Structure formats: C-alpha cells, structure tokens
Amino acid sequence: MTASKKILLVLLPLFTLFVGWEIGINQSTVSGIERSGLSQAGSGTVVTGDPAKEVDLSLFWQVWRLLQQRYIAPGDLKLQPMLYGAISGMVRGVGDPFTVFMPPKENKDFHSTLQGTLEGIGAELTVKDGLVTVVSALKGSPAARAGVEAGDVIVKIDGAPIGTIPLDQVVDRIRGPKGTTVALVLMRKGSPAPLTMSIVREKIIVPTVESKILTLPSGQLGYVALNEFGDSSMQEIRTALASFKGKPIKGLILDLRYNGGGYLDGAVELASMFVEKGTIVTVQNRGGALDPHPASGSPLLPTIPLAILINQGTASASEIVAGALQDFHRATIIGMKSFGKGTVQEVIDLPGGSSLRVTIARWLTPNGKNLGKEGVRPDIALERDPGELANGKDSQLQAATDWLLFKKNDAKTASGSSVSSANLGK
C-alpha cells in the first residue's frame, strides 16, 4: 500500500450538509496497513497478534463471489461502491460515531470545510441517541434563515423517512447542486407537531472570525466571534485582538456559540492568548499515556476581563478553549452547556482519495475533566429564546455585557445598554 498522510484530530466530526467538522494537530507520513498491526493470511484470516481476536474473512469473500455469480443483473454490480460500502459498514460496526470511513467525494468535501467554502444548506449534523440531530445552523446559511435550530431531529427528506440509514447517506440525500430545493421534516423539543421546511441549497462561504467594538453608554467592549478553527483563524483572531489595543475597552467577549471545532493547535494557541502559563489540554492516548499541551507563554491579553459565550453547538476545539479558561478562572462562561465532544480523531488519507477517521485518544481539561462526559457547564446559565433571532435580540450577549460592565449575573441591564445583533453588524 502506498504511504498515506496522517492528521491527528480533536474535533466534532459532524457532517455539515456539505461535509463535517474536524480538528487537526499535525501531519506526518505513515506506511501501509502494517502500521496497525494487521496482516492477511492466505486462508482469509486476519491476524491481530492475539489468537482470541483472529477473524475469518472467508465469509466476506463468499458473499462477494455469490453476488458476482447469482445477482440477477450482473452488469449493474458496481464494484467500487460495493467495496466502499463494505468498508463503511465495517467501520460503523466499531460503534463509535466519530470513527468513520470517508469515500473520495466525502473526503474532498470534508477538507473543503476547513477552507471555509462549502455548498449545501449550512446545517451541521451528528447522530445523538440514535437520531440524526442538528448541532447548529451556520450563521446566515439557508438552514438558519429557514428556521432550523440546534437540537432539531431530521425524520424525513423529500417526503421519505430516513429510518435507520447511516448519517453519510442522510447527508448525501440532503446535499445537492446550489439552486435546488430540499424538503425536511423535523421534530423539535416542545413542538407539538413535526415542522416542514423547504430549503434552497447555496454556495456557502463561512466567515471564520467576526469582530467589532461595542459602544455602550457604560463603556466599550471588544467582541470577537470565532465560527470555526480553520486554516487562517488564529491569524485573523490576532489581527482582531491587535485592533483593540490602545482602545478604552473594559472587557472582551469571545463568542464560541455553534463553533464545532477545527485544529487542536489552534485551540491551544487561542487559549494561550489569554493566560501566562499552564497546561491548556492533556491528550490521553491509547494505553493511558498523557500528552500535555502547555500554553505558549506569550499571551496577547493576559489580564483583560473576559466573557465566553457557549451553547449546545459549542464542541471540541472550542470546548478546549472554554474549559481551559474556566479551569484557570480566567473567563466567565455564559450560555448553555456545550455539546460534550472529548475524543481525538486521526484522519488517514488512503489510496484513491478516500480516508479513515479513527478515534485514537481523549482529551482532558487542566483540572482533569473529561468533557466528553460532562461538557462545559456555564458559570451563568442562560437559554436563548428561539424568537430572539428573528427580533434581532441576544439575551446571552446581553448577559455578557452586563457581567463585564456591571458584574451582574442576570439578563437585566442598566437603561440604554441593550445590545442586538444589529449592533454587531451581522
């Protein structure tokens, strides 16, 4: 087998209706299948080094040959899709929703996500409790404009129930050329009846960083929204924070809502901008070995009052940042409990343009919390009313301004200090 490229990940590998979230920390070269300790015996038995775990693969080949010999329309047998389907089924059999085989098109779309240019409806999906669930609708996306919300469960696509089909097939049904329409039926907590939405697919350009100075009667605050940890995100963040220097801002709001992850080294770099020292995150590898990732030691704003906004769509790399700064008592966390994604994936590119994304480790906060089990719990818990978005209001952002300007931990503010999404230039 030819050499393949390896990327270590700590992200929430969700499928956006164009691809998925991932988070890489480095690249190196690995050689063939031997690196995993597997070899194939002539009898069809896979040898793992442990006799109790040897598996006879002759059944697979028997079924493969029977299809070639007996299927009514042999000319319709497409061998490459059959092979990809077999591999996908094997990987799904592991039972880990974050360990996934990606055929070439899906792998290509996946890598496009980190570059911020996508096509689809702009919703990010995962499987939760056996149901295809929306984690977030990207800001300004067709899904967001149609009213898709985090926590919605997709039950039908273009009138057809999705049943128990795999997530990648759900994504394939929803994806399509820009300008075309897909009809979704969603179940929403608290809604007495299913919701039906027709959404026109578009080309989506995801802005990784949005920043602004909020000018309020009681003072100025810096605001930075990080939508994903992409290729250029950290440089964009540094540019935004540098623009605040010399300005009379009284604090900074870091908005990580609906941020599903990105590069791990980006998460460490971002947290390092606000702390002098300490371990940002510890990766616990297979076998229990611990790999700490310390702060860089060169913070940009080590003392500025800091509030971080999170919600149920905050996951993986963004949870690393929020969890670390919370453990360091460096920031006040405001919003809703985060998604709770605490494992590390490795993406290995395979011949033909496909890849394998496999869980290889978990990560822990500075205080040793496994956020895959707990998530990040906000210091000030506040759920955003679904109707706020349409009205240009944001109670979570309002609570952050209250905290920074008045050290108040509720959603009420002094007269005249109201903040809306319009104030942020969104």
For residues 100 and 357, what is the distance between their CA atoms, to the nearest angstrom? 5
Query: Could you tell me the end-to-end alpha-carbon distance of the chain, in angstroms, rounded to an integer?
Result: 49
Q: Is 426 a catalytic residue?
A: no
Hey, is 395 helix, strand or coil? Answer: helix
Nearest residue to 310 via CA among 329, 326, 281, 334? 334
For residues 192 and 246, what is the distance between their CA atoms, to the nearest angstrom? 52
Record the tokens describing residue 47, joined without a space.
């040898």
Which is catalytic among the residues 109, 136, 255, 341?
341
Question: For the sheet containing 55-56, what is the strand order?
Answer: 39-40, 45-47, 55-56
How does DSSP assign 229-279, residue by residue?
B-TTHHHHHHHHHHHHTTS-EEEEEEE-TT---B-HHHHHHHHHTT-SSSE
Nearest residue to 266 via CA among 309, 235, 301? 235
Token pair 């220097």 is at which residue? 245
Which is catalytic among the residues 327, 395, 408, 420?
327
Q: Is 341 a catalytic residue?
A: yes
For residues 333 and 339, what is the distance between their CA atoms, to the nearest angstrom? 14
Hey, is 288 helix, strand or coil? Answer: coil
For residue 71, CA distances in Å to 63, 65, 80, 82, 171 come to 11, 10, 16, 13, 28
Residues 6+ apart with CB under 8 A from 107: 349, 353, 354, 355
228 within 8 A of 208, measured Cβ to Cβ? yes
Which is catalytic among the residues 316, 338, 354, 355?
316
213 within 8 A of 247, measured Cβ to Cβ? yes
Hey, is 210 helix, strand or coil? Answer: strand
Per DSSP, 139 falls in state T
Backbone phi, psi, residue 168, to 5°: -65, -30
Q: How many Å separate Cα 115 from the centre of its chain?
A: 14
**Which residues have a catalytic role annotated?**
316, 327, 341
